[in-house]
Amino acid sequence: MLAQLLARISGGLLALWLVSLLAFGLMALAPGEPARLLLIAEGVTMPTPELVAAKRAELRLDDPLPARYLHWLSGALRGDFGACYRSGRPVWAIYSERFPATLMLAGLTLALSLAVALPLGLIAAIRRGSVLDALLQALAVLGAAAPGFWVALILMLVFAATLRWLPALGSPTLAGMLLPAITLALPNVAVLSRLVRAATLDVLGQPFMVTAQAKGYSSREAVWRHGLPNVWPAVVTAITLEAAYLLTGTVIIETVFAYPGVGRLAVDAALLGNMPVLALCVLMAAGIYVLGNWLADLLMFTLDPRVRSI
Amino acid sequence: MRSLVHYLTTLLALMVLVACGAAPTTTPVATPGAQLPAATTAPTAPTAASRGELRIGTGLSIPATLDVTQGSTGFTMITYGAGETLTRLTPEQQLEPWLAETITELDPNTWQVTLRQNVRFHDGSPMTAEAVAASLQDSLTALPGAKNFVPADTAITVIDERTLTLRTPAPAGNLPYSLANWNFVIHRPAQDGISILTGMYRPVSLEKDQEFVLEPFADYWGGPPPLARLIVRKITDGNARALALQSGDLDMLTNVPPDIAASLPADISQTSVPGTRLHYMILNHTRAPFNDVKVREAAAWAIDREALLAATLNGQGSVAANMYPPSVGIEIVPAQATDVEKAKRLLDEAGWVAGADGVRVKDGQRLEFTLYSYPGRPELTPIAIAIQAQLGAIGFAVKVEEVQDITSQIEGGEFQASMFSVRVASDPQYMPGVTLVEGASYNYGGYRNDALEALFKELQAASDPAERQKLARQMQEIVAKDTPNIYLVVPPLITAFNGKVVSGYTPHPDDLYLVTRDLKVTR
C-alpha cells in the first residue's frame, strides 16, 4: 500500500517536472526579445541596445539553455515566476488576483452539478427502465454532447437578451456566475448522473441489499442506509477530477462570458504572446491536476475499505 | 471525462502557436491616420451636472497601460473622450482647430500655433505653450509612429504663454493635418501610469484586457461633460457582445462585424458608414506576372468589387476606385472599375492565350500567381477567395494562401501579390507616402514611378489646400494609368446602441472620435 502511494506521488512529481520543461522550452522558443518587452513594460519607452543588453544579463538570457532552465526553476520553486511582458508586474500576483473568481465559479458549478446529478442518478436507478429513466438518459447524452460555447450563447439569448433575468456578461457575483456555472454544470450533470445510476444499480444487485430488504427495510430506506454509502467512492474520483478541471480555468466559457478568471487570463496571454503568464497558467494547471489525482486517491483510501485492504 | 492531457494539450497548443510566431498579429495599420472629430464645441456655460453611466463593449484590445507614450494608448484615449490633439477632423473630413485656436504658416518650413485659452490638464495645471512643446517633443521621442507624420528633427520653440512655432527641416505642407494624428495627444508625463490629459473624461482605472473606467473632468474647457461615468468592457466573442447589448448589460458596441449587425433585433439602433480603412491587393512589380502593366490592368478590370462587398461584408461599406477611400474628403479620380471584356482584351493584346485547362499561357509560362492573405481582418481571406474565382474566369490560375504574419511574409519581396489593409489618413500625402513612393513603409512590391515621385515632392511642399487637392488628383491619374496596386473595398464602420438610452451619437468614418460632447444617456 505504502509502495503504491509512493508510486503515485512520484508519478505526479514526474508529470509536473515534464510540464515545467515544456513550459520553459516554449517560453525560450517564443519570438520577441523578453528583455526589451520587459523594459517597455517597466516604462522605458525606447530601450537602448545597452539597456537591453544589461537586462538580458540580469535575466541571464545569455546563459546556455540548461542553466537558464535551472535558474527559472529555482525561481519558480521560490514562487518567483518572472514578470509579465505587458505590465512588468510579477506574474504570480496577476494569477493570484484572478484565481478567486475561478475558484468561486468552480464551487458554484460543482454544487449545482451535485444537487442535480445525485437525485437524477438515484431516481433513474430505482425506476430503472421507466420512461423517466429513458428521458434522463437522453438528457444526459444531450448534455454531454452539446458544445459549451453554443450552450453559453443559447443561455445568454434566452435568459439575458430575451427574458432579461440575468446579466449576459459574467462577473464574480451570484447573478453574474449563474449562466457560466449552468453552462459548465450541464456536461457534468450528464456524466455524474450516469455514474451515480450505474453505481446505484451495482449496489442494488448486491446480496447485502437483498438482506437489508429481507430485514424489513423499505427499498427507499435500504438505498438510503446501505446503498448510498457504497455509491460515494465511485463518484468521488469523478468529482475531484472535475474540480481540478474547473480550477484550471475553463478557457472557452470564461472567454465567451468575459469572466475574469484564470482561463481567460491564459487565453489573453496566448493571444498577446505574454509567455511568462501563459507558462504559469500551464504549470498551475498541471499542478492542480496532480493534486486532484492525489486527493482522489486519498479519498478513495478513506472512503472505501476495500482499497485499504490491498 | 476531460483529462489533464486534453487541457494541457489545449494550453500547450496555444503556447506552440505563440512560440512559432503565429500569434494573431494585428492588422498592419498604417499608423492610424488622421482623424475625425465631433461637432465643434464652443465653450458653453456650465449646464446641468453630468448624468448617467454609459457602458461600451468592444472587441478591440484595451491597452495594457494608460500612458499615451506607450503603444496605441493615445488612440484609445481620444476614442473615449480622454485625450485631445491640437487639430482634428470633422465628420465631413474638414480640418479644424481643437486645442489650438489657430495654426498659421509663417514660411514653407515654419508653422505658428496659437493655443486655446482656459484649457486645463486633469491635474488642474494650465495648458501652456511650454507644456504643449514638451508634449510634442515627448511624442516624437517616445512613439515610433510619430515621425511618419512630423519629422523627428522638427524644432519646437516656445514664443510666449500661448504661442509656439514648429520648424521642419524641409517644407511640410501637411503639418496641421499631422498634428491631428493620435500620436500627438497633448499630455503631461504620466503619474501612476496614467497620462495627464485635457479631455472631458478622466481615466480612473484599468483592469488589464477587461475594463477601462472614466469619469467626468469638472474643469473641462468646454464645460462639464454629460456623462457621470463611462465604462469600456472588452468582450472577445462577437455574439456575446451582441447579446450583452440586447440584455441591457451594455449600451453601445463599436466596430460591429456586418454579420453580427445583421442579426441584431429591430429595437437596437445601428449606424453604418464606410470607414477610412482600405483593403487592397499589393502587387509585386519585380516579378511575373505583375511586372507587366497590361496584366496588372487586366486583373484590376476583372474584379467585381460590388460582388466582393455583397459576399463578404453583407453589402455594406463601399467600393474603392483609387488609392483613397471615398470617406477621407479627397476628390476621387475613378480608375479601377469592372469591365471583364476589357480585361480579356488586354490579356489577348499582351499575348496571353487560353490553354487547354482554361489557364492562359505566354511563351510557355502559365498566368498564375499566389495571393497571400492573413487573418487580422476576418473578411480579407474571403475576399481573396472571391478574387480567385473572378480572375479564374478570365484565365488566371490563383492560389490563395493565408499566413499569420503577413509583414514578415512579404517584406523581403518574396511574393507575387498580397491582400493588405491600411487605415487611411485624410491628408492626401499619407497614402502615396506610406504605400507608393520609393522606400515607403508599405511599398513591399518595389513600385517606382518618376512622375509620381516628382508630384509627391511638390505635395510635401504645398500648404494651400486647393493646391494639395490638385496634386492628389494628378497622382491618382498616374495610378489610373499604371495600376501600381489593385484597390478593392472600404469596410463599413458599424456602431450599434440602445436608442432608448443613448442619444447624440454622430456616426463618423473614423472610429477615433467615438465619444463626443453630445453623447448622452437617459435612464
**Per-residue pLDDT reduced to its tens digit, B98-117:** 999 999 999 989 999 999 99
Beta-carbon-side half-sphere exposure of residue A241 (alpha carbons within 13 Å): 17
pLDDT of residue B71: 78
- B6 has a pLDDT exceeding 90: no
DSSP calls for A256-310: HTT--SHHHHHHHHHHHT-HHHHHHHHHHHHHHHHHHHHHHHHHHHHH-HHHHT-
- B272 has a pLDDT exceeding 50: yes
Q: Which residues of B touch A40 (CB under 8 A)?
A: 70
Fill in the amino acid letter for A159. F
Mean predicted lDDT score pLDDT of chain A: 86
Q: Match 446503498 to its residue by C-alpha cell.
A: A227
Q: Which residues of A touch B237 (CB under 8 A)?
A: 149, 255-256, 258
CB-neighbour burial class of residue B365 (10 A; exposed 0-12, middle 13-18, buried 19+): exposed
Q: By the 8 A CB rule, do B202 and B214 touch?
A: yes
Among A271, A280, A288, which would you mutate to test the B interface (most chain B Cβ atoms within 10 Å of its Cβ)?
A271
pLDDT of residue B36: 30
Closest partner residue to B210 (CB to CB) among A94, A166, A260 is A260
Taking only the tens place, the pLDDT of each residue in B367-383 is 999 999 987 788 999 99
Asked whether the bond before B289 is cis by omega within 30 degrees of 0, the reply is yes
| Minimal-distance CA residue of chain A relative to B238 | A256
pLDDT of residue B303: 97
pLDDT of residue B42: 39
Among B73, B247, B498, which would you mutate to test the A interface (most chain A Cβ atoms within 10 Å of its Cβ)?
B247
Question: Strand B163-167 to strand B110-115: parallel, antiparallel, or no bridges (unpaired)?
Answer: antiparallel
Query: Which cell numbers hold the place of B78?
Result: 481620444
Per-residue DSSP letter, B364: T
| Minimal-distance CA residue of chain A relative to B237 | A256
Query: Which cell numbers hold the place of B295?
Result: 496584366
Closest partner residue to A255 (CB to CB) among B2, B237, B250 is B237
Which residues contact residue B219 at a Cβ distance below 8 angstroms, ignoring those fewer than 6 apart? B120, B124
CA distance B375 to chain A (A): 13
Q: By the 8 A CB rule, do A143 and A186 touch?
A: yes
| Minimal-distance CA residue of chain B relative to A270 | B14
Q: Is B130 on the interface with A (CB under 8 A)?
A: no
Per-residue DSSP letter, B227: -
pLDDT of residue B45: 37
- B contact residues 196-225, partner A, Cβ 8 Å cutoff: 207-210
CA distance B14 to A266: 9
3 state SS for B443-501: CCCCCCCHHHHHHHHHHHHCCCHHHHHHHHHHHHHHHHHHCCEEEEEECEEEEEECCCC
- B10 has a pLDDT exceeding 60: no
| Minimal-distance CA residue of chain A relative to B23 | A271
Inter-CA distances, A81 with A74, B88, B482, Å:
9, 45, 56
Name residue B87's beta-bridge partners.
B97
> Nearest to residue B319, comparing CAs of B334, B329, B333, B309?
B309
Nearest-5° Cα angle at A154, A151 to A160: 125
> Nearest to residue B327, comparing CAs of B107, B132, B489?
B489
Taking only the tens place, the pLDDT of each residue in A49-73 is 888 888 888 888 888 989 999 989 9
pLDDT of residue B207: 82
CA distance B315 to B319: 10
Taking only the tens place, the pLDDT of each residue in B172-220 is 888 999 999 999 999 998 887 788 999 999 999 888 778 999 999 999 9
Residues B14-32, mean pLDDT to the nearest whole number? 39
Residues B260-288, mean pLDDT to the nearest whole number? 93
Query: Which cell numbers hold the place of B84?
Result: 485631445
Q: Which residues of A touch B12 (CB under 8 A)?
A: 22, 26, 282
Give the least confident one: A35-49, B127-141, B433-447. Answer: A35-49
Count Cβ atoms below 10 Å from residue B202 Cβ, excluding itself: 24
CA trace torsion A240, A242, A246, A251 (10° rounding): 150
pLDDT of residue A61: 85
Residues A267, B210: C-beta atoms closer than 8 Å: no
| Minimal-distance CA residue of chain B relative to A167 | B249
Closest partner residue to B19 (CB to CB) among A15, A26, A281 is A26
pLDDT of residue B8: 53
